[in-house]
Structure 1
Amino acid sequence: MLAESGSFDPAEPGWEERNYLSGPLIESGYERGGQSDLENMSNREVEEVPHGDPVREAPEDESEYLDPDTLIFTESPSEDVEGRYEEDFQAVFDRIEEETGKPVEYNRVNSYAASVEAMRSERAHIANFSTGTTCFAVNLCGAVPFAAGVAPDGAFGYRLFATTRADASGIRSVEDFADDDVRMAHAEPASNSGHQAPSALFDQYFDVTAGEDYEINFSGGHSQTTRGIAAGDYDAGPICSTCFKDTVEGDSNLSYDQFKVVWASAPFPNGPIAYRYNLHPDIVEGIEAAWLDSDFAGTTYAERTGYDEYVPIEYRRHWYDIMVIQRYNGVEYTQSTLSE
């Protein structure tokens, strides 16, 4: 079923008949969606969120406004771009200070749960959450997602790649994951493409139930899943497509020829920028302007994220599919669930 190099058609992958080495998918830009996907998400008619609570409204009582002297920004291990550092954010931090008059401090955390807890406890006022964690952040800490990045060519979001090694001749479909001899890796419990989405979509589309038809081994992240498959620690796993690309291109010991993809999902929105719901309205206005009214082309921030600009997003519309997936999986928005 392994297709010849150069035969990949992004419009008609034909997953039922073909597998592909990962290289042709990346070369065609298939790791992201496009403007049409963004427009479809933006134009959804959604009156109520399908799972959990809606985004919290700003307090009516001005005494409840949060007006810190220094704004704290945090970023969790992301389904978008990993390995960013404080200096990479200087361009946007400068814009925030310009718009709000307040300096920004960077607070890096090492888990999805820690990013949510930081905002809940007011140790973070702004955050770049992962896609799957966003629903927890809205429900547990009053996060208000408002912006997501768009690449210079208009590309948006990412996909779930059902990935195995190129030489795994016995794995040609998601159905083949349901084999006692196949060691499967998932990223983390709250990860969208690394756990929540495959748990729902593998079951819906392929009648393969994670945790029943195969044992789930949590690797700790998409890069760990990618490296683990290459090293033979795992045989296959669902991986965020953009994280897969970042990991392979950032590790000289890896190459696209080592991996094949047996199925890929439709695009999901990439992790959003969010602020805490009770920040003073003047601060919120400045934060939104810093991202939505700025062109970051030529900055280290754009180089590290892949985004020159940011566009407005609306939680109930853009995260609709994510909430439906988590409802299908019976996810409860609790700190203990996030920390499992």
Structure 2
Amino acid sequence: MLADDSEFEFSDPNWAENNYLSSALIDAGYERGQRADLERMGSREVDEVPHGDPVREAPSDESEYLDPDTLVFTESPSEDVEGRYEEDFEAVFDRIREETGKEVEYSRVDSYAASVEAMRSERAHIANFSTGATAFAVNLAGAVPFAVGLASDGAFGYRLFATTRAEAHDIQSVDDFARENVTIAHAEESSNSGHQAPSALFDQKFDVTPGEDYEVNFSGGHSNTARGIAAGDYDAGPICSTCLKDTVEGDSSLDFDDFKVVWASNPFPNGPITYRYNLHPDIVEGIKAAWLDSDFSGTDYAARTDYTEFLPIEYRRHWYDIVTIQGYNDVQYEQGALSE
């Protein structure tokens, strides 16, 4: 079933009959969705959030407004771009300072749970959450998602790649994940493409239920899953497409031809920019302007992420698929359900 790279068609990969080396997908830009996908998500008729709570409204009592001298920004491990550093954000932080008159402090955390707890406890005021952890942040920490990045070529988001080694000729479909002696890795429990989405979509589309038809081995992250597959520690697993790209490009011992993709999902939105619901309205206005009214072309931030602009989103519309998947999996929005 392994097709030549030249046979890949972006609009119709025909996964029922084809596998592809990841090089074919990356060369075609298939690791991301397109602006049209984002617009389609935003135009959906959604009256209410299908699972969990909607975003919190700003307090009606002005005494409850949060007005810190320094705004703290945090981000967690992401299905967006991994391994970012404080200096990568300077262009963004400069714009926040201009719009709010506040200093900005960068606080990096190393887990989904820590990022949500930072905003819940008001130790973080602005955050870039991962896609899967966003619903936890909304329900537990009062996060208000308002923007996602768009790349210079109009691409956005990421896909779930069901991935194995190129030479794994006996693994040609997600169906084969359920075979005996096949070791499958998932990233982390709250990760969208690394666990939540495959738990729902593999069941719906292939009648393969993770945790029942195969043992789930949590690797601790997408890059760990990719490296584990390459090293033979795992035979296959679901990997965030952009994380696979970042991992291979950042590791000289890996090559895109080392990996074979046997199925890919439709695009998901990348992790959003959020603010805490009770920030003073003047600060919120400045934060939104800093992200939504800026062109980051030519900055270190754009060079690192390829995000030159940010577009507005609505949680109930753009996160509808994510929250529906989590509802299907009976996810409870509790701190203990987040990976430490």
What is the TM-score with the length of structure 2 in the denominator? 0.99
**Paired residues for 1:224-235 under 5 Å:** 224-235=224-235
Percent of pairs identical after alignment? Answer: 78
Separation in 2, partners of 1:156, 1:254: 25
Separation in 2, partners of 1:303, 1:81: 12
In structure 2, the partner of 1:273 is 273
In structure 2, the partner of 1:89 is 89
Which residue type is aligned with residue 142 of structure 1?
A: G
Secondary structure in 1 aligned to 2:37?
A: helix
Residue 179 of structure 1: CA displacement?
1.5
Secondary structure in 1 aligned to 2:144?
A: strand
Separation in 1, partners of 2:97, 2:231: 45
In structure 1, the partner of 2:222 is 222
In structure 2, the partner of 1:331 is 331
In structure 1, the partner of 2:64 is 64
Separation in 1, partners of 2:19, 2:25: 11
**Paired residues for 1:32-71 under 5 Å:** 32-71=32-71
In structure 2, the partner of 1:321 is 321
In structure 2, the partner of 1:114 is 114
Residue 314 of structure 1: CA displacement?
0.4
Residue 272 of structure 1: CA displacement?
0.2
In structure 2, the partner of 1:157 is 157
Verify the 8 A CA contact 2:188 2:339 in the aligned structure 1: no
In structure 2, the partner of 1:127 is 127
Separation in 1, partners of 2:250, 2:157: 20
Separation in 2, partners of 1:5, 1:40: 29
Query: What do you get for the CA RMSD once the two structures are aligned?
Result: 0.6
Q: Provide, for residues 225-276 of structure 1, a one-character-per-residue CA deviation record: whole Å limited to 9, x for no partner.
A: 0111000010000000001101101110000110000000000000000000
Verify the 8 A CA contact 2:137 2:143 in the aligned structure 1: yes
Separation in 1, partners of 2:73, 2:314: 20
Separation in 2, partners of 1:48, 1:110: 32
How many residue pairs were aligned? Answer: 340
Residue 339 of structure 1: CA displacement?
3.3
Residue 180 of structure 1: CA displacement?
2.2
What is the TM-score with the length of structure 1 in the denominator? 0.99
In structure 1, the partner of 2:144 is 144
Separation in 1, partners of 2:152, 2:86: 23
Separation in 1, partners of 2:121, 2:151: 33
Verify the 8 A CA contact 2:33 2:158 in the aligned structure 1: yes
In structure 1, the partner of 2:100 is 100
**Paired residues for 1:4-43 under 5 Å:** 4-43=4-43
Verify the 8 A CA contact 2:186 2:216 in the aligned structure 1: yes
Residue 6 of structure 1: CA displacement?
1.2
Separation in 2, partners of 1:234, 1:306: 31
Separation in 2, partners of 1:139, 1:101: 29
Secondary structure in 1 aligned to 2:116?
A: helix
Q: Provide, for residues 119-167 of structure 1, a one-character-per-residue CA deviation record: whole Å limited to 9, x for no partner.
A: 0011100000000000000000000000000011111111000000000
**Paired residues for 1:150-299 under 5 Å:** 150-299=150-299
Q: Provide, for residues 273-330 of structure 1, a one-character-per-residue CA deviation record: whole Å limited to 9, x for no partner.
A: 0000000000000000000000000001111112000000000000000010000000
In structure 2, the partner of 1:311 is 311
Secondary structure in 2 aligned to 1:234?
A: coil
Separation in 2, partners of 1:26, 1:337: 33
Secondary structure in 1 aligned to 2:6?
A: coil
Q: Provide, for residues 48-71 of structure 1, a one-character-per-residue CA deviation record: whole Å limited to 9, x for no partner.
A: 000000000000000000000000
Give unmatched runs, 5+ long, in structure 1: none
Separation in 2, partners of 1:251, 1:11: 30
Separation in 1, partners of 2:215, 2:303: 38
Separation in 1, partners of 2:313, 2:107: 24
Give unmatched runs, 5+ long, in structure 2: none
Moved over 3 A (4+): none
